[in-house]
Amino acid sequence: MPSPAQPANSTEAPDEETEENDQSEQILQSGSVTMTKAKHVIHCLTIVGQIEGHYILPPQNKTTKYEHVIPQLVAIEQDPSIEGLMIILNTVGGDVEAGLAIAELISGMKKPTVSLVLGGGHSIGVPLACSAKQSFIAPSATMTVHPVRMNGLVLGVPQTLSYFDRMQERIVRFVTENSQISSKDFRQLMMNTGELVMDVGTVLDGEKAVETGLIDHLGGLNEAIACLYEMIEGPSKPNEKSKTHSKAGGKKKK
């Protein structure tokens, strides 16, 4: 039996410890965490390393598995306690269709979403960064835009070329619909032959990514969270007109 001198609220510490353990387990298992003690309840999803699709990558590769991310996004959209989603990106790319599937899910979410590119958001990481309602990039981060490529045996027949063209068109359409860059400018970045020694494409630093309209804002974690809080609070307050982020620049979003 507990001592009579034991305070009545002594059960709070074990509860807090259990919550911290649950969050640590969530980070270890899925690379994500839901913060419940902040001003607003937001879910932080990290997309790092290589996007793993239909084929399992070697165990030494740092990967983000799309079969883990997709159920998380569905749960976040359906959970009434979660008010917004923060996506942290540091990826070299990966499976095109898996990455595009994740990007489509994020783009179709009703809840406020903000993405932040740290380190790099290359290849299929570009549409993933653009999929959020507002996107940020750190000044030191970079993004690589290049045409669709495929590993393994590729048959040299017209059908293969047509398949590549259609897949590339899907990416171009998604990026231009979810950012401020034009189709012409994005294709020009994609087909640039004067920058990469062994490849076709363009590497953009943080400032250049914002200048081209690919990313909305230059900033770090503080600015990204402030933007997400503003999106959460804006339409929810009574007797106050709905407002958008002051630096949004008329970005077209679904």
* 40 labelled catalytic: no
Residues 6+ apart with CB under 8 A from 27: 33
Euclidean distance between CA atoms 187 and 126, whole angstroms: 13
* 123 labelled catalytic: yes
The backbone torsions φ and ψ at residue 121, rounded to the nearest 5 degrees and listed phi first, read: -135, 75
**CB-based contact 217:187 (threshold 8 Å):** no
Euclidean distance between CA atoms 137 and 216, whole angstroms: 8
Q: What value does the CA radius of gyration of the chain take, rounded to a whole number of Å?
A: 21
Of 32, 107, 115, 123, catalytic = 123
Euclidean distance between CA atoms 23 and 96, whole angstroms: 30
H helices of the chain, where?
12-30, 66-78, 96-107, 125-130, 158-177, 183-190, 206-211, 221-233
Of 43, 107, 131, 146, catalytic = 146
> Which residues belong to the active site?
123, 146
